[in-house]
Amino acid sequence: YSQYVQLLSQYRQLEDRLKTLTRANNIDELQGLLNNEMVSNSDQMNVVLRKLVDINTAQLNAVKEQASIEYDSAFNMVIGLLIAATLLTIVFAWMLIKSITTPIATALLAAETIAQGNLTKPISIDGSDEAGRLLLAMKTMQDKLRDTLQGISGSATQLASAAEELNAVTDESARGLVQQNDEIEQAA
């Protein structure tokens, strides 16, 4: 580039001489200047300009190649990030579905167990979300049903015991009545 600047400076000096010779109407020297020094300077400037164009073209190709490499790298990184984001989305969706379906399946199993009349199987409660609250309500219902059935069973046992006692008293009374009736018949 410095060589081009130097040649351009020489060309301007030659141009100034050309103007001076033109004003002086010095045709012979003017033709010599044009045909020799200015042509030589122009040829040298063209060679230097060609070299500068070649250097710029080479740099442009290098920059273009680097840009292509960086584009490919960025493209691959974006694809990788998209794949990672997709995988993370799938994992989070699976975790969300599992966090919903597992407690519901547990609640369904507990409801089926209670419906079959088994009130002794414990209900495990994991979490405090809506499904956890549903399981807690089912556990409370199971406990109250068990307590109610135990109360009814205890009352039934007491009632059976009272019925046996009443039956024994009734049998004793009946025997007593039969005996009184027999005694009345003997007395008559």
Confidence of residue 49 (pLDDT cuts 50, 70, 90): confident
The pTM assigned to this predicted structure is 0.49
> Per-residue pLDDT tens for 85-100?
999 999 999 999 988 8
Dihedral sign for Cα 42, 43, 46, 47, please: negative
Task: Give residue 101's Cα distance to chain centre.
Answer: 19
pLDDT the model gives residue 100: 84
Check if the beta carbon of residue 106 is closer than 8 Å to that of residue 121. no
Compare 34 and 58 and report the one with higher pLDDT.
58
> Per-residue pLDDT tens for 135-155?
888 889 989 988 998 899 899
Confidence of residue 56 (pLDDT cuts 50, 70, 90): very high
